[in-house]
């Protein structure tokens, strides 16, 4: 059975809707249709966080709260969720995070403030310890031009002192009940010749794409939504994968981490922390909390951006991909990237799963270099996978982002290093070879010269870190 | 001025509760009038040339479009230039920058308006643009004439000096990145009048320029501003064009029109901080004391003058920062380039002047191998000698020596510097740096006539007070401070004071909220208005109670002689006795004058001072860097509201930090701006500020001049404290020729040069 409307909870009101355009963002719906203007538009590209709101989802009979950028989230992807906006935080009394912001002078012009309040509210609901590091992690997606952040960070540090229980803890059961009432069906919304399809499961998805053309997949929407908000284009047919349980999972199986392609980055980090801490550390600098909460690993791969951060890491790790159309096929990731933003995906084929091998005897390191430490796109990115036996390199992968039109290996350098002893002399030599592997371009993020120089220098960092030197700022 | 417990307190921002709950209204949040249309602007996609052919037919026929306008549809003046002409609303013929508006549409929705604009077909005749400062100097391409200043014979002094240094420097541009983008909504009124809600720092000039553009009298235009979501100078003049276009569209359609600019378009269309090129030669003594300075300042003004004259003047005024420079030979070029017209930005040229001299002093220290804090001290202005600036102003309020000494002690600078030298000797890859730099910033508009403000104060019969003044609330806490001033004067509590908005109907002919002086000027005007009302009350009291003498307003009561009466009761009684309880007030800054021709005079009423110590660590493999600790000691005089002042200091520092580290504007070879969104233009985030961020107000601070509460302006000065972070990075790279912005790439280049 296919339904033709979505259901979600806006603050505490159950909403059934199908009469707005399929390209409408959550932000525009809030501001224009519902006249809830507390949520602001600062950039309409998911970079400034002024539009931050919270989504609550039912997970294991509990509510899971996630901050999102409403400016780049399609309204119909709210199906089955609760959306909490700043207007809903307080009634007669301010919420603890709001009161803390007032008392610590966290607002000046006030325009970014609702976004900060919502990000902080997300942190509050996660019951995270308000250390500097955690605060930076939760607030990296919110820009403030007035305060210089010090007062905002103080507010975050003190928010729990205003009470650890809020009205949401009290209302949790009521919301859970409401969410449980929402039926999960296939949903297809057609409006002005535009379509928005939410498949219930993998089977239905496969069937749908056999019979449709020119659709675009959307999970977090953090990339594709910009087509609408920035280029003013209309996307006629969208398929939303965010609710699809068959694509949203992490399983450890036979020395592989198997990740469903629609799994958000933030869900993957804890597993990576265990097996590849350097990968996890990098992922904390991937976009912002709002982005990582919804952006999927499959979307990151599918966009095939030469500077997409997880791509070189997966390349170095020899990840495998399960590509799905009517049938499945297994493809080594090194065969996936064909040309600038072109992949091996055929028509009506999509990424179903990413398999990351668990390599216990290898050293894995990756380094992201960007202008700004947090929430910035890499100038360059490198991932190393090395296996040593008696200090001899017996296996090596070096994969770069930002150095070529696709994420790619440093083939010549790899070839040189195989069989060599890991010592300063050989590292020095390998640096000269890297230069022959790539001819990167100059753009707003970095010059070709800088990219080359740093790609070499990072070999030094790798060598020093393998030898347990502390060389990070 | 009487003192009361409403001064020198920590008081939260008047709108803070509304900010945190989403209830504070910005223009896009105002309940939209019926039949509202939405505007969008079509702009040039080349930097220089002419329009050969333009085809708007598809735009006109696009869904939802009600009107398309070009320069032909402007009934009045096609110019939004504030001081000088040269900023067309729409291009008539010559294209002067990529992003220059050509036409605008009004459509039923914002989306339809933006979609329509894309459908234009333009054939250009492209010409080669001038894109950088050096090229402009070479071609003598200037928006205004160069300015020369000489004090003594600098060339001779340099020649006679034991040491000389020369070199070139650069400082970068900066986008304002106010979180609320440019926006304006015009609502037609009767008699062809218009009400404009504008996100502007300057309602009066918005009124004037809109009126001229539609060829109407100023009194037919009303501009209203409750608050704006950040300005920083970016809405001092750059907002005008949007109000003009929303009004033109409104006039042509006779419907209300909202023009909300997309963030990318905002960054493409509007001006930024001037980037500068500097060339210097300096002669100095063994102790680092400067004997003479020959200096060229050249800035990218963009295609039009806008405020560039005053901005470059302010760079000249601050080329000394806190240092006595006995002889100087200076030339300032105001370069015309085919880029967006650069404009006011917090500091208004001051930061660019200071950045230059601080680099020179740093280079002198490096040359002499002396701790730069010592060279800085050796060059400071003194109290009774060495106290005349290069523009002939005597500095009467110098406290920089004391602030500097305090901060050196308070921050433990000397020990930390030693520790850093040790750390750097031991570490090959990671290096640390530390620096202390001073700030001396002149307060007043350097264009003397702008130093005036107005206010309108009413007391209603229930004793509640309503007031308006000429200043704009843009986050700086102006309304909070002014409320405190008014409450204090009447001895009532803050909740009895209401400041509704800034409105050209209430207070006319105001100056922009700029130059840090809004509290001084508008606070002064409010006090003047209140004094007039008090005079009326005095007459009433003397008649009614046969009392002549001091009247004290305190704790919601009015005391005279041995009597006291509730303020509310007194007001009510006075009303029945037909006493006027309303007055307008006016303030003009005293003492200031300036002779532009000879560049001599007293452009500033006073100076604000401060100093900062910044400590950084860099990775010499990648140029990645981190601020470890910042200590600030800043002078705000006798603070009216210390929590607001601390907020200005912290925010100013971090904005300056962005300017000098990560924020970088780039263009391609055709003059197209490449950094037009927050995905490529990176302002600081939470993680960029140091864990140890110690900000203190200079306790002994007291304004020598008669400014309300003896406080000092605080908007702009703290931005320049961030020069210490740049110098610390320079220090960590072993003082090579580090180029601003000191992003990882420029740091690595400095190390590897």
Give pLDDT tens digits for B507-526.
999 999 999 999 999 999 99
Measured CA to CA, the distance from residue A51 to residue B179 in angstroms comes to 11
Which 3 state secondary structure label does DSSP give B126? Answer: strand
Question: In whole angstroms, how far apart are CA A307 and each of A72, A304, B24, B663?
Answer: 20, 8, 39, 20
Does the residue B135 lie in any domain?
no
B426 in contact with chain A, both atoms CB, cutoff 8 A: no
Is the pLDDT at B3 greater than 50? The verdict is no
Do A49 and A177 share a structural domain?
yes
Measured CA to CA, the distance from residue B221 to residue A195 in angstroms comes to 46
Beta bridge mates, B94: B50
Share of chain B above pLDDT 90, in %: 98
Measured CA to CA, the distance from residue B714 to residue B659 in angstroms comes to 19
Measured CA to CA, the distance from residue B121 to residue B352 in angstroms comes to 41
Q: What count of other Cβ atoms lies within 10 Å of the Cβ of residue A213?
A: 8
Contact B525, B586 (CB under 8 A): yes
Assigned token pair, A440: 């990167």
CA A222 centroid distance within chain: 8
Measured CA to CA, the distance from residue A280 to residue A258 in angstroms comes to 16
Assigned token pair, B705: 């001049």
Overall number of domains in chain B = 3
CATH of the domain at A199: 3.10.20.30
Q: Could you give the residue numbers annotated as active site of B?
A: 716
Region at B556 (left for phi over 0; alpha for psi -120 to 50; beta for the rest)? left
Measured CA to CA, the distance from residue A261 to residue B435 in angstroms comes to 49
Q: What is the pLDDT of residues B425-470, one digit of tens each?
A: 999 999 999 999 999 999 999 999 999 999 999 999 999 999 999 9
Q: What count of other Cβ atoms lies within 10 Å of the Cβ of residue A252?
A: 12
Enclosing H/E stretch for A302: helix A297-303
Does the residue A234 lie in any domain?
yes
- Per-residue b/e over B469-498, b at no fewer than 16 CB within 10 Å? bbbbbbbbbbbbbbbbbbbbbbbbeeebbb
Do B545 and B605 share a structural domain?
no
Do B651 and B694 share a structural domain?
yes
Measured CA to CA, the distance from residue B233 to residue B512 in angstroms comes to 9
Contacts A113 to B, Cβ<8 Å: 19-20, 24
Q: Write down the pTM of the prediction.
A: 0.98
Question: In whole angstroms, how far apart are CA B415 and each of A370, B410, B605, B733?
Answer: 33, 11, 38, 20
Which 3 state secondary structure label does DSSP give B559? Answer: strand
Nearest residue to B304 (alpha-carbon basis) of B27, B636, B82, B634? B82
Q: Rg of chain A's alpha carbons, rounded to an integer? A: 23
Which of B588, B612, B633 is the endpoint of a domain? B588
CA A286 centroid distance within chain: 6
Does the residue B3 lie in any domain?
no
Contact B441, B607 (CB under 8 A): yes
Do B546 and B647 share a structural domain?
no
Inspect the interface and report whether the beta carbons of A109 and B229 lie closer than 8 Å. yes
In the 8-state DSSP scheme, what is residue B5? T
Does the residue B221 lie in any domain?
yes
Nearest residue to B194 (alpha-carbon basis) of B168, B175, B176, B213? B213
Contact A116, A101 (CB under 8 A): yes
Question: Is residue B5 very low, low, confident or very high in pLDDT (cuts 50, 70, 90)?
Answer: low
ipTM of the complex: 0.97
Do B416 and B330 share a structural domain?
yes
Region at A254 (left for phi over 0; alpha for psi -120 to 50; beta for the rest)? left
Do B603 and B558 share a structural domain?
no
Contacts A97 to B, Cβ<8 Å: 20
Measured CA to CA, the distance from residue B129 to residue A461 in angstroms comes to 43
Q: Identify which of A39, A45, A376 has the shortest CB distance to residue B263.
A: A45
Measured CA to CA, the distance from residue A191 to residue A187 in angstroms comes to 13
Do A175 and A138 share a structural domain?
no
Whole domain around residue A115: which residue ranges? Answer: 96-165
First-to-last C-alpha distance (Å) of chain B: 59
Does the residue A265 lie in any domain?
no
Residues in chain A, overall count: 473
Do A49 and A185 share a structural domain?
yes
Does the residue A108 lie in any domain?
yes
Do B541 and B511 share a structural domain?
yes
Do A148 and A9 share a structural domain?
no
Q: Identify which of A47, A447, A473 has the shortest CB distance to residue B678.
A: A47
Whole domain around residue B280: which residue ranges? Answer: 276-446+595-752
- Surface-to-core class of residue B80, CB atoms within 10 Å of its CB (0-12 exposed, 13-18 middle, 19+ buried): buried
Question: In whole angstroms, how far apart are CA B408 and each of A57, B109, B610?
Answer: 53, 58, 12
B470 in contact with chain A, both atoms CB, cutoff 8 A: no
Do B265 and B407 share a structural domain?
no
Question: Is residue B9 very low, low, confident or very high in pLDDT (cuts 50, 70, 90)?
Answer: confident
Which of A200, A223, A240 is the endpoint of a domain? A240
Find all residues with CB under 8 Å of B412, minimum gap 6, and list them. Answer: none
Angle at A247 between CA A245 and CA A251, to 5 degrees: 90
Assigned token pair, B494: 């803050």
Nearest residue to B199 (alpha-carbon basis) of B238, B162, B170, B160? B238
Which 3 state secondary structure label does DSSP give A459? Answer: helix
Contact A148, B652 (CB under 8 A): yes
Enclosing H/E stretch for B19: helix B16-21
Measured CA to CA, the distance from residue B155 to residue A444 in angstroms comes to 41
Q: What was the pLDDT predicted at B2?
A: 44
Strand order in the sheet with B221-225: B65-69, B101-107, B37-43, B257-260, B183-188, B194-198, B221-225, B502-503
Per DSSP, the residues of A183-229 read: ---EEEEEETTEEEEE-SSHHHHHHHHHS--S-EEESS-TTTHHHHH
Inspect the interface and report whether the beta carbons of A45 and B646 lie closer than 8 Å. no
Measured CA to CA, the distance from residue A298 to residue A282 in angstroms comes to 17
Interface test with B, best of A110, A123, A229, A462 (most B CBs within 10 A): A110
B287 in contact with chain A, both atoms CB, cutoff 8 A: no
CATH of the domain at B78: 3.90.1170.50
Q: What is the pLDDT of residues B598-612, one digit of tens each?
A: 999 999 999 999 999
| Mean local confidence (pLDDT), B573-589 | 97
B593-595 and A328-332 strand pairing: unpaired
Inspect the interface and report whether the beta carbons of B227 and A107 lie closer than 8 Å. no
Which of B588, B623, B652 is the endpoint of a domain? B588
Peptide bond into B548 cis (omega under 30): no
Beta bridge mates, A52: A69
| Mean local confidence (pLDDT), B220-226 | 98
Do A235 and A380 share a structural domain?
no
To which residue do tokens 């399609």 refer?
A74
Beta bridge mates, A342: A339
Do B658 and B744 share a structural domain?
yes
Measured CA to CA, the distance from residue B88 to residue A11 in angstroms comes to 47
Does the residue A275 lie in any domain?
no
Do B325 and B261 share a structural domain?
no
Question: In whole angstroms, how far apart are CA A192 and each of A20, A29, A221, B666, B749?
Answer: 9, 17, 21, 40, 54
Inspect the interface and report whether the beta carbons of A38 and B23 lie closer than 8 Å. yes
CATH of the domain at B485: 3.30.365.10
Q: What count of other Cβ atoms lies within 10 Å of the Cβ of residue A15?
A: 15
Q: What was the pLDDT predicted at B8?
A: 67
Q: Identify which of B20, B118, B232 has the shortest CB distance to residue A113.
A: B20
Half-sphere exposure of B438 (CA within 13 A, CB side): 34
Is the pLDDT at B123 greater than 80? The verdict is yes
Q: Identify which of A89, A152, A371 has the shortest CB distance to residue B743.
A: A371
Do B483 and B438 share a structural domain?
no
Do B465 and B415 share a structural domain?
no
CATH of the domain at A414: 3.30.390.50
Assigned token pair, A227: 């087509």
- Window B:485-544, CB contacts with A under 8 Å: none
Do A180 and A80 share a structural domain?
yes
Contact B720, B347 (CB under 8 A): yes
Do A158 and A11 share a structural domain?
no
Is the pLDDT at B4 greater than 80? The verdict is no
Overall number of domains in chain A = 3
Do A422 and A378 share a structural domain?
yes
Does the residue A277 lie in any domain?
no
Is the pLDDT at B394 greater than 80? The verdict is yes
Assigned token pair, B142: 């200037």
φ, ψ (nearest 5 deg) of residue A363: -100, 130
Measured CA to CA, the distance from residue B739 to residue B447 in angstroms comes to 32
Contacts A100 to B, Cβ<8 Å: none
Do A71 and A47 share a structural domain?
yes
Do B467 and B405 share a structural domain?
no
Is the pLDDT at B295 greater than 80? The verdict is yes
CATH of the domain at A159: 1.10.150.120
Q: What was the pLDDT predicted at B379?
A: 98
Inspect the interface and report whether the beta carbons of B22 and A458 lie closer than 8 Å. no
| Segments of chain A scoring below 70 in pLDDT | none
To which residue do tokens 């017996």 refer?
A394
- Window B:365-394, CB contacts with A under 8 Å: none
φ, ψ (nearest 5 deg) of residue A208: -60, -45
């Amino acid at each position: 059975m296919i339904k033709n409307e979505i259901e979600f909870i806006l603050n505490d009101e159950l909403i059934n809707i199908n009469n707005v355009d399929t390209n409408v963002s959550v932000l525009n719906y809030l501001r224009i249709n519902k006249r809830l203007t507390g949520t602001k538009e600062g950039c309409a590209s998911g970079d400034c966080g002024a539009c931050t709101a919270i989504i609550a989802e039912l997970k294991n009979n509990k509510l899971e709260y996630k901050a999102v950028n409403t400016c780049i989230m399609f309204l119909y992807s709210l199906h089955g969720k609760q959306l909490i906006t700043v207007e809903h935080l307080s009634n007669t009394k301010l919420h603890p995070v709001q009161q803390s912001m007032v008392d610590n002078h966290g607002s000046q012009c006030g325009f970014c403030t609702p976004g900060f309040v919502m990000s902080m509210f997300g942190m509050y609901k996660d019951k995270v310890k308000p250390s500097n590091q955690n605060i930076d992690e939760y607030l990296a997606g919110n820009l403030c031009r007035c305060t210089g952040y010090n007062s905002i960070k103080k507010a975050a540090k003190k928010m729990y002192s205003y009470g650890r229980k809020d009205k949401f803890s009290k209302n949790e059961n009521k919301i859970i009940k409401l969410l449980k009432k929402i039926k999960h069906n296939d949903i297809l919304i057609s409006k002005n010749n535009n379509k928005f399809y939410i498949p219930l499961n993998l089977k239905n998805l496969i069937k749908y794409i056999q019979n449709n053309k020119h659709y675009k997949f959307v999970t977090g929407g953090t990339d594709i939504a910009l087509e609408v908000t920035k280029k003013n284009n209309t996307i006629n047919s969208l398929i939303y994968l965010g609710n699809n349980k068959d694509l949203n999972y992490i399983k450890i199986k036979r020395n592989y981490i198997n990740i469903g392609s629609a799994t958000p980055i933030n869900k993957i980090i804890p597993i990576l922390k265990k097996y590849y801490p350097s990968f996890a550390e990098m992922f904390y600098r991937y976009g912002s909390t709002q982005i990582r909460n919804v952006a999927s690993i499959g979307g990151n791969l599918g966009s095939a951006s030469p500077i997409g951060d997880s791509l070189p890491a997966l390349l170095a790790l020899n990840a495998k991909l399960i590509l799905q159309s009517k049938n499945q096929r297994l493809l080594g990731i090194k065969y996936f990237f064909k040309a600038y933003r072109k992949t091996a995906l055929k028509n009506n084929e999509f990424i179903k799963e990413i398999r990351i091998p668990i390599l216990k005897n290898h050293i894995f390191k990756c380094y992201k270099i960007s202008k700004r430490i947090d929430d910035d796109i890499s100038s360059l990115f490198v991932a190393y996978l090395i296996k040593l036996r008696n200090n001899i390199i017996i296996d090596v992968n070096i994969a770069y982002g930002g150095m070529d039109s696709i994420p790619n290996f440093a083939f010549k350098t790899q070839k040189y290093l195989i069989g060599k002893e890991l010592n300063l002399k050989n590292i020095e030599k390998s640096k000269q070879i890297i230069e022959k592997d790539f001819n990167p371009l100059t753009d707003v993020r970095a010059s070709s010269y800088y990219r080359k120089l740093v790609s070499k220098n990072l070999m030094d960092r790798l060598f020093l870190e393998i030898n347990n030197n502390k060389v990070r700022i | 001025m009487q003192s009361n417990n409403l001064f020198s307190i920590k008081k939260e921002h008047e709108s803070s509760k509304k900010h945190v709950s989403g209830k504070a209204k910005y223009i896009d949040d105002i309940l939209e009038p019926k039949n509202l249309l939405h505007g969008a602007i079509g702009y040039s996609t080349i930097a220089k040339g002419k329009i050969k052919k333009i085809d708007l037919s598809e735009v006109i026929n696009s869904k939802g479009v009600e009107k398309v306008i070009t320069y032909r549809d402007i009934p009045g003046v096609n110019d939004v230039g504030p001081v000088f002409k040269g900023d067309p609303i729409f291009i008539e013929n010559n294209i002067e920058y990529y992003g220059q508006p050509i036409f605008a549409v009004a459509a039923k929705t914002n989306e339809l308006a933006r979609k329509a604009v894309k459908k234009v077909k333009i054939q250009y005749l492209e010409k080669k643009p001038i894109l950088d400062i050096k090229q402009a100097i070479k071609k003598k391409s200037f928006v205004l004439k160069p300015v020369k200043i000489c004090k003594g014979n600098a060339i001779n002094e340099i020649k006679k000096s034991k040491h000389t240094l020369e070199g070139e420097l650069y400082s970068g541009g900066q986008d304002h990145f106010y979180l609320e983008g440019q926006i304006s909504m015009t609502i037609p009124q009767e008699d062809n009048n218009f009400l404009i809600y504008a996100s502007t720092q300057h309602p009066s000039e918005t009124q004037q320029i809109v009126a001229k553009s539609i060829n109407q009298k100023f009194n037919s235009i009303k501009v209203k501003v409750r608050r704006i979501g950040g300005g920083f100078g970016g809405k001092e003049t750059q907002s005008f064009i949007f109000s003009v276009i929303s009004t033109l569209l409104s006039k042509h359609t006779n419907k209300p029109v909202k023009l909300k600019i997309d963030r990318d378009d905002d960054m493409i269309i509007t001006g930024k901080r001037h980037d500068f090129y500097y060339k210097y030669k300096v002669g100095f003594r063994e102790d680092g004391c400067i004997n003479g300075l020959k200096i060229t300042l050249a800035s990218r003004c963009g295609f039009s003058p806008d405020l560039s004259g005053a901005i470059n003047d302010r760079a000249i005024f601050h080329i000394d920062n806190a240092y006595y420079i006995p002889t100087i030979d200076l030339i300032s070029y105001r370069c015309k380039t085919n880029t967006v017209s650069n404009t006011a930005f917090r500091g208004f040229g001051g930061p660019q002047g200071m950045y230059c001299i601080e680099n020179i002093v740093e280079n002198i220290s490096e040359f002499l191998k002396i701790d730069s804090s010592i060279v800085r001290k050796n060059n400071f202005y003194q109290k009774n000698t060495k106290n005349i600036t290069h523009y002939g102003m005597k500095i009467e309020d110098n406290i920089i020596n004391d602030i500097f000494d305090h901060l050196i002690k308070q921050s433990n600078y000397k020990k930390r510097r030693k520790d850093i030298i040790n750390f750097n000797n031991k570490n090959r890859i990671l290096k640390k740096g530390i620096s202390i730099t001073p700030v001396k910033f002149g307060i007043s508009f350097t264009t003397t006539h702008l130093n005036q403000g107005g206010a309108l104060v009413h007391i209603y019969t229930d004793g509640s007070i309503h007031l308006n003044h000429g200043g704009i609330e843009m986050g700086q806490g102006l309304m909070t401070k002014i409320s405190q001033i008014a409450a204090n004067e009447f001895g009532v509590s803050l909740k009895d004071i209401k400041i509704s908005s800034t409105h050209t109907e209430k207070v006319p002919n105001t100056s922009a909220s700029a130059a840090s002086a809004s509290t001084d000027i508008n606070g002064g005007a409010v006090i003047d208005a209140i004094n007039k009302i008090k005079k009326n009350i005095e007459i009433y009291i003397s008649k009614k109670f046969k009392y002549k003498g001091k009247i004290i307003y305190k704790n919601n009561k009015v005391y005279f002689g041995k009597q006291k009466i509730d303020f509310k009761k007194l007001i009510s009684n006075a009303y029945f006795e037909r006493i006027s309880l309303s007055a307008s007030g006016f303030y003009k800054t005293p003492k200031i004058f300036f002779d532009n021709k000879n560049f001599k005079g007293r452009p500033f009423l006073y100076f604000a001072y401060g100093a900062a110590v910044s400590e950084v660590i860099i990775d010499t493999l990648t140029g990645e860097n981190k601020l470890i600790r910042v200590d600030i000691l800043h002078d705000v005089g006798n603070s009216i509201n210390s929590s607001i002042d601390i907020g200005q200091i912290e925010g100013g520092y971090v904005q300056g930090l962005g300017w000098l580290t990560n924020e970088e504007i780039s263009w391609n070879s055709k003059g197209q701006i490449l950094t037009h969104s927050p995905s490529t233009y990176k302002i600081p985030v939470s993680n960029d500020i140091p864990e140890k961020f110690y900000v203190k107000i200079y306790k002994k601070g007291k304004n020598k001049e008669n400014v309300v509460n003896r406080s000092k302006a605080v908007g702009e000065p703290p931005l320049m404290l961030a020069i210490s972070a740049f110098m610390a990075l320079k220090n960590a790279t072993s003082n090579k020729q580090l180029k601003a912005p000191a992003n990882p790439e420029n740091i690595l280049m400095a190390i590897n040069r």
